[in-house]
Copies of this chain bind each other. A is one copy, B any other.
């Protein structure tokens, strides 16, 4: 498959264009050759973050393309110097294209990060959660857990890099309704309360989330930004395999 077609397939699946006005990330092909139609893609690497570490591994593995959740361009690259040079240069020098999907991948009801957590928890009656402009970037659904069970399930199944899952146990012991925004989802705490959720599952916290959860009597689970956001790129990896690509997932946990 050529790079233009790969890009087009992902953009179609993820509705990349619908997120142009609400995502600072330049989603889609972010670093790539002059003429994507002339570049054949056989080997595709996947990672959560585009960083020196993951880019180097992609290069060593011989990737034609690297697909990530967190890319390099957030509102435009002012200068290709320092950090940006360090990351862009090896991509260019080794002919590795970079494809990025940030909020479109958070949002997707089957392929997305929140969908991955929902699958892991076996949630039913799933609906979109986490309003961001006209879109949603998370998921909500129903199950039956004690608070301890939910925490342990996350801790067991997610690779938190040894940091574990932190829980603010301010809500009910029995959890039926779970709201999920992966990564940095503390700002959707109020929406979780509004929809009647018993627990909010997210990645990293913010100072304010402690008291807000305490006062709203909501259980909050902080399972790690990295740990909650490997699902989406792994889904994209499966798609690539279906399309006949040779793939690899580059695991570079941040512990955050």
Contact = CB atoms under 8 A, between A and B. Distances in A.
Contacts of A256: 205-207, 209-210
Interface string A195-227: 000000001111111111011100000000110
Given A28-B79, A31-B79, A32-B79, 8 more contacts: A33-B89, A77-B77, A83-B190, A87-B215, A184-B207, A207-B254, A210-B256, A211-B252
Interface of A, helix, strand, loop or mixed by DSSP: mixed
25 contacts: A29-B79, A30-B79, A30-B81, A31-B81, A31-B85, A33-B85, A34-B81, A34-B89, A51-B215, A52-B211, A70-B208, A73-B78, A73-B80, A76-B77, A77-B78, A80-B80, A82-B190, A83-B190, A85-B92, A166-B255, A206-B256, A207-B225, A207-B226, A209-B256, A210-B255
A73 B76 CA distance: 9
- Which are the 7 A-B pairs with shortest beta-carbon distances? A76-B76, A51-B211, A210-B254, A207-B225, A31-B80, A77-B77, A52-B215
A99 B256 CA distance: 33
* Assembly stoichiometry (copies): 6
B83 A88 contact: no
B85 A211 contact: no
A88 to B, nearest CB: 6
A44 B82 CA distance: 21
A: interface residue count bin: 35 or more
A115 interface: no
Identify which of A81, A207, A214 gathers the most chain B CB atoms within 10 Å of its CB.
Answer: A207
A75 interface: yes
Contact of A34 (B29, B86, B203, B226): B86
Nearest to A211: B51
Nearest to A52: B215
Contacts of A49: 207-208, 211
A60 interface: no
Nearest to A49: B211
Given A76-B75, A206-B184, A207-B226, A215 B85 contact: no
